[in-house]
């Protein structure tokens, strides 16, 4: 039990006692970057590379202050082009009508609702990481929370697009909101579609506030650095000077007069924990309400009581997968990022994927079992058709991607090999899209075999969905370019130097007593 | 020990980590005697009473068994979760959960009468009930007597093996100090949780949902879990508060630990309400007779007061009381709320089981027989638990994360 915590080693080295090699590497070269220790007496370091406050600021700010690599320009051009195609498809839809989609009579809800639910689901990881993991004091979240929250915001934007454009007569899109129209007809408050507007709207607002509020100190850091660079600038052309001024002004406006005073920090921490508390039930409520869209309808295969928690588990599952899809490449592309996003962070996320994937699998099994147990022939038929009917391939894909594929993370190799994690994360995203597709296409075979039909998407459906991916990526690339991608102040908080009580100084705690 | 306080050795001395041999023996024996007496009265009442009295006594005894089983299952799941997430703060708390978990063999003993008299508890086992019932015929491949017992055996086998193995790692570590036992317990907890999820859910279907064998709800397994996990957390908090009052665990379990347990109690209270509401709400909204009948049974003049009391007592009251930080940190308030939650969890279990008793299609009002039959197993369980607590160290003495737990603080 006398193992020395690596945190203490870091403290000593940073105090200049022992200028040793880069921390982590010497811990155990056998396992990744040294954070994968399995000794229960050792807490692996959260930040590697002997980072001090200054080097954390320098590294994270450099990602926005330096010109982006060529990959960024290329990725931005590609994704904005794809986004443009998506926008054209939406324009075509608005000009022509929803007939351009593959909707037919039994399947009145097609890709639009599938995409909506998929995107909202993805938008769950950010708030889970920032709020729920914050409440559970999971310090490893500090290196990924900003990233995940940004992803959440952009995913919810993509999600919100689909209900807006699916209404057919776009000039009636305001019907989504509970505004009495000119005939004083109120929307149906007992419709879960209306609750969706409230749930998603609230979620978006709170997530945005949470993200922005958390970013204010970091924006102030960027502001101060922009001003300092402006003052120090001796050379440079007029253009560079103008850009510098715009930067300083923009960060200055966004940082709302933050001056790093201790009073600011005190208010900030209180506000942060309050917002985390408010955001936590929202993570559960949003997808529960989305699940009500289906579960309140008395359609076989839709009306089942496990839907709310099952949708929430699936949402966290897909959200974490999307964070990994973005994080694994970013970790390679940004210099120094691996010191913050350690192998252990990736491993933890993989484990959460396995847990939530297994929860989803548990729900599939329960649904199937209870459909049989219910002795309701419609219910049973709905599930037989799901698994063996015309959409068997979709059901098979869903099951394989969502239940089987995350089980590979039981192997240590799988959850500590970034390229492999990347592949599985994409597989999971595909699986979760198919889960919603399977649920929606349950409509194709309803009570009367005479009215059965087969739904297939048109090229407009496909390109609109691909376009939404482009919009998402465009927004995300802009975020990576212009905003602090990692929470600078929070990462500083979890390095050993930031602990005022220190890992070795418990005398003070003792005096305070119980 | 990387994070241990300077006086760790003194805190871990036997005087602080064990109960005196005879401490608490009297109340423990008293609880067991009371429980046995209650059961004896229940048995006498059932034998002397009519057919309905027998059914009432058995149903309430079944509810009592499910209550104790839930505490053991919940404690085991909590131990597994704490291992899985590498929790440090809970190292000094865990032994009490392990004590409750290790009473699984007692739960098996409580199950024996349920198994023997199952035909009087489960209507679907009664051929008079199921003759010509097409709905029963459709599900008889699952709901049949032999398979029922096979499943019960499988559940108990899994629970007994898992609880025994987890408990053994912890106790043996006290002796040999091998810190890698923690890693082994952690590895076990991974697949253990998977097994627990499936067995607990299906046990919920078998022993609670199938009491109304026409009725079905995919959420029911989760509802069972949501109830007992909160009760197990509350029992853990209550035990720690009582032990602190007995003058042990000084500096090992502090207000910080109670505060965190209070947070978990609050969280599981909300979780229970979320699951219970979602289940009720979707069935209410769908309004299909084959689903609503379960709630209809509990909405009669007789059972409605219990339903309303449950919503207030199991959710609204603890939700409001466990919200303020000073109250979660107060041993008095937290202890009262732990008893409160345990009480309402018992009511919840009773509320699920008991309304299924009927004579000639009419519901049967609660009687004194309900109280003794349900209290019997619960009192015996608590009595044996008290003996178990006194029989071994109160904390895992050589856990590698004891130091972290001792200096644990909630700063925000």
CA nearest to A445, candidates A437, A433, A435, A455: A455
Say which range, A169-178, A222-231, A342-351, has the weakest mean pLDDT: A169-178
For every residue of A199-236, DSSP letters joined together read HHHHHHHHHHHHHHHHHHHHHHHHHHHHHHHHHH--S-
* The pLDDT of residue A510 is above 90: no
Interface check for A356 against chain B (CB to CB < 8 A): the answer is: no
Give the Cβ contact number of residue A483 at 10 Å. Answer: 18
A contact residues 134-173, partner B, Cβ 8 Å cutoff: 135-136
Q: Are B379 and B373 in contact (CB under 8 A)?
A: no
Query: Is the residue at A114 inside a domain?
Result: yes
pLDDT band, residue A29 (cuts 50/70/90):
very low
Of A5, A410, A514, the CB nearest to B2: A5
Report pLDDT digits (tens) over B351-381.
999 999 988 778 888 999 999 999 999 999 9
**Mean pLDDT value of segment A42-59:** 84
Q: Do B179 and A366 touch (CB under 8 A)?
A: no
Say which range, A48-52, A192-196, A278-282, has the weakest mean pLDDT: A48-52
- Give φ, ψ of B362 to 5 degrees: -100, 145
Query: Is the residue at A196 inside a domain?
Result: no
For every residue of A174-187, DSSP letters joined together read GGGS----TT-PPP
* Mean pLDDT over the full length of chain B: 92
pLDDT band, residue A19 (cuts 50/70/90):
very low
pLDDT band, residue B228 (cuts 50/70/90):
very high
| Domain residue limits at A168 | 28-37+44-173+204-500
Query: Is the residue at A465 inside a domain?
Result: yes
**Best residue of A374, A410, A439, A507 to probe chain B, by most B CBs closer than 10 Å:** A374
Of B183, B218, B219, the CB nearest to A38: B183
Q: Are A305 and B217 in contact (CB under 8 A)?
A: yes
Percent of chain B with pLDDT over 70: 99
**Distances in Å between the alpha carbon of A219 and those of A445, A482, B115?**
53, 10, 66
Q: Which residues of chain A have a CB within 8 Å of the CB of B142?
A: 373
Q: Do B222 and A306 touch (CB under 8 A)?
A: yes
**Mean pLDDT value of segment A351-372:** 93
* The pLDDT of residue A38 is above 70: yes
* The pLDDT of residue B339 is above 90: yes
* The pLDDT of residue A8 is above 90: no
Per-residue tokens: A58 = 């320098």
pLDDT band, residue A234 (cuts 50/70/90):
low
The predicted model scores a pTM of 0.91
Q: Are A507 and A356 in contact (CB under 8 A)?
A: no
Tokens 């990959």 sit on residue: A71
Of A3, A305, A358, the CB nearest to B2: A3
Higher pLDDT, A195 or B65: B65
Of B86, B201, B270, the CB nearest to A366: B201
Min CA distance, A229 vs chain B (Å)? Answer: 36
* The pLDDT of residue A10 is above 50: no
Report pLDDT digits (tens) over A487-506.
998 898 888 887 776 554 44
- Number of A/B CB contacts below 8 angstroms equals 121
Report the chain A residue with the minimal C-alpha distance to residue B84: A351
Higher pLDDT, B309 or A226: B309
Per-residue tokens: A115 = 């995409």
- CB pairs under 8 A, 24+ apart, for A225-229? A225/A61, A225/A65, A226/A251, A226/A252, A227/A252, A229/A65
Q: Which residues of chain B have a CB within 8 Å of the CB of A510?
A: 5-7
Higher pLDDT, B151 or A445: B151
Which bin fits B31, alpha (ψ -120 to 50), beta or left (φ > 0)?
A: alpha
Compute the distance between CA of residue B378 and CA of residue B66 in angstroms, rounded to an integer.
10
Of A298, A358, A365, the CB nearest to B286: A298
Min CA distance, A27 vs chain B (Å)? Answer: 16
Q: Are B99 and B332 in contact (CB under 8 A)?
A: no
Number of structural domains in chain A:
1
Interface check for A183 against chain B (CB to CB < 8 A): the answer is: no
pLDDT band, residue A308 (cuts 50/70/90):
very high
pLDDT band, residue A6 (cuts 50/70/90):
very low
**Mean pLDDT value of segment B215-236:** 96
Instruction: Say how far residue A4 (Cα) sits from the centre of its chain.
Output: 36
ipTM at complex level: 0.92
Compute the distance between CA of residue A44 and CA of residue A342 in angstroms, rounded to an integer.
10
Compute the distance between CA of residue A158 and CA of residue A146 in angstroms, rounded to an integer.
19
* The pLDDT of residue A12 is above 70: no
Q: Which residues of chain B have a CB within 8 Å of the CB of A292?
A: 282, 285
**Mean pLDDT value of segment B206-235:** 95
Report pLDDT digits (tens) over A136-167.
888 888 889 898 999 999 999 999 999 888 88
A contact residues 18-47, partner B, Cβ 8 Å cutoff: 38-43
Q: Do A366 and B288 touch (CB under 8 A)?
A: no
Q: Which residues of chain A have a CB within 8 Å of the CB of B201?
A: 362, 366
**Best residue of A375, A406, A498 to probe chain B, by most B CBs closer than 10 Å:** A375
Instruction: Say how far residue B240 (Cα) sits from the centre of its chain.
Output: 17
Query: Is the residue at A380 inside a domain?
Result: yes
Report the chain A residue with the minimal C-alpha distance to residue B135: A375
* The pLDDT of residue B12 is above 50: yes
pLDDT band, residue B262 (cuts 50/70/90):
very high
**Distances in Å between the alpha carbon of B15 and those of B19, B314, B393?**
8, 38, 10
């Amino acid at each position: 039990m006398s193992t020395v915590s690596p945190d203490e080693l870091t403290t000593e080295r940073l105090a200049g006692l022992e200028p040793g090699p880069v921390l982590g590497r010497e811990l155990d070269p056998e396992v990744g970057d040294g954070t994968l220790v399995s000794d229960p007496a050792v807490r692996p370091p959260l930040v590697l590379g002997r980072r001090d406050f200054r080097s954390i600021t320098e590294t994270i700010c450099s990602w926005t202050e330096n010109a982006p690599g060529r990959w960024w320009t290329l990725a931005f051009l590609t994704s904005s082009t794809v986004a443009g195609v998506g926008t054209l498809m939406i324009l075509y839809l608005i000009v022509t009508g929803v007939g351009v989609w593959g909707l037919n009579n039994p399947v009145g809800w097609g890709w639009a609702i599938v995409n909506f639910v998929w995107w909202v689901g993805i938008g769950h990881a950010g708030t889970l990481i920032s709020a729920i993991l914050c409440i559970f004091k999971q310090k490893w979240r500090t290196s990924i929370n900003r990233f995940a929250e940004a992803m959440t915001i952009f995913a919810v934007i993509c999600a919100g697009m689909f209900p807006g454009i699916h209404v057919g007569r776009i000039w009636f899109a305001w019907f989504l909101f509970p505004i009495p129209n000119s005939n004083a007809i109120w929307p149906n408050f007992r419709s879960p579609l209306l609750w969706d507007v409230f749930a998603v709207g609230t979620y978006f607002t709170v997530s945005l506030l949470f993200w922005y509020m958390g970013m204010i100190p970091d924006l102030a850091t960027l502001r101060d650095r922009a001003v300092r660079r402006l003052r120090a600038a001796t050379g440079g052309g007029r253009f560079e000077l103008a850009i510098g001024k715009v930067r300083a002004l923009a960060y200055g406006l966004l940082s709302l007069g933050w001056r790093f005073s201790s009073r600011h920090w005190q208010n900030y921490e209180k506000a942060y924990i309050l917002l985390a508390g408010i955001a936590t039930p929202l993570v559960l409520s949003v997808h529960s309400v989305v699940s009500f869209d289906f579960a309140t309808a008395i359609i076989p295969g839709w009306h089942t009581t496990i839907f709310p928690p099952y949708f929430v588990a699936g949402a966290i599952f897909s959200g974490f997968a999307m964070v990994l899809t973005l994080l694994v490449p970013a970790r390679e592309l940004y210099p120094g990022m691996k010191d913050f996003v350690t192998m252990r962070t990736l491993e933890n996320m993989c484990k959460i994927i396995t847990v939530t994937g297994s929860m989803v699998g548990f729900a599939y099994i329960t649904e199937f079992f209870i459909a049989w147990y219910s002795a309701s022939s419609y219910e049973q038929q709905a599930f037989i058709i799901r698994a063996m009917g015309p959409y068997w391939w979709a059901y098979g894909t869903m099951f394989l991607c969502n239940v089987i594929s995350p089980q590979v993370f039981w192997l240590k190799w799988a959850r500590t090999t970034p390229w492999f994690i990347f592949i599985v994360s994409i597989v999971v995203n595909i699986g979760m899209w198919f889960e919603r597709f399977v649920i929606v296409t349950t409509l194709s075979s309803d009570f009367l075999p005479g009215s059965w039909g087969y739904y297939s998407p048109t090229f407009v459906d496909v390109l609109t969905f691909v376009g939404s991916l482009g919009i998402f990526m465009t927004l995300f690339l802009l975020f990576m370019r212009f905003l602090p991608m990692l929470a600078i102040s929070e990462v500083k908080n979890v390095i050993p130097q930031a602990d005022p009580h220190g890992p070795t100084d418990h005398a003070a705690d003792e005096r305070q007593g119980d | 020990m990387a994070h241990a306080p300077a006086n760790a050795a003194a805190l871990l001395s036997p005087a602080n980590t064990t109960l005196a041999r005879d401490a608490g023996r009297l109340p423990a024996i008293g609880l067991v005697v009371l429980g046995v007496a209650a059961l004896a009265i229940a048995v006498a009442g059932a034998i002397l009473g009519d057919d309905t009295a027998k059914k009432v006594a058995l149903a309430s005894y079944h509810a009592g068994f499910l209550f104790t089983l839930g505490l053991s299952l919940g404690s085991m799941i909590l131990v597994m979760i704490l291992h899985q997430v590498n929790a440090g703060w809970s190292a000094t708390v865990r032994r009490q959960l392990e004590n409750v978990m290790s009473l699984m063999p007692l739960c098996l003993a409580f199950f024996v009468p349920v198994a023997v008299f199952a035909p009087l508890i489960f209507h679907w086992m009664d051929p008079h009930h199921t003759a010509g019932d097409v709905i029963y015929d459709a599900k008889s491949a699952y709901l049949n007597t032999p398979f029922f017992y096979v499943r019960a055996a499988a559940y108990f086998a899994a629970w007994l093996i898992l609880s025994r193995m987890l408990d053994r790692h912890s106790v043996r570590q006290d002796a040999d100090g091998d810190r890698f036992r923690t890693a082994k317990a952690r590895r076990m907890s991974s697949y253990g949780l998977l097994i627990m999820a499936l067995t607990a859910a299906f046990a919920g279907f078998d022993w609670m949902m199938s009491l109304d064998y026409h009725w079905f709800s995919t959420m029911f397994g989760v509802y069972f879990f949501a109830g007992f996990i909160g009760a197990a957390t509350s029992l853990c908090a209550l035990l720690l508060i009582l032990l602190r009052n007995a003058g042990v665990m000084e500096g090992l379990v502090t207000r910080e630990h109670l505060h965190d347990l209070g947070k978990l109690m609050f969280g599981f209270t909300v979780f229970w309400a979320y699951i219970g509401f979602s289940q009720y709400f979707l069935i209410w909204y769908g309004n299909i007779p084959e689903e609503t009948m379960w709630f209809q049974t509990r909405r009669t003049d007789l059972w409605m007061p219990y339903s309303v009391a449950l919503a207030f007592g199991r959710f609204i009251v603890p939700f409001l009381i466990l919200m303020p930080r000073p109250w979660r940190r107060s041993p008095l308030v937290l202890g009262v709320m732990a008893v409160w939650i345990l009480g309402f969890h018992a009511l919840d279990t009773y509320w699920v089981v008991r309304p299924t008793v009927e004579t000639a299609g009419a519901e049967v009002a609660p009687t004194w027989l309900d109280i003794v039959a349900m209290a019997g197993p619960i009192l015996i369980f608590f009595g044996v638990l008290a003996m178990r607590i006194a029989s071994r160290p109160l904390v895992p003495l050589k856990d590698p994360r004891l130091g972290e737990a001792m200096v644990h603080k909630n700063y925000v």
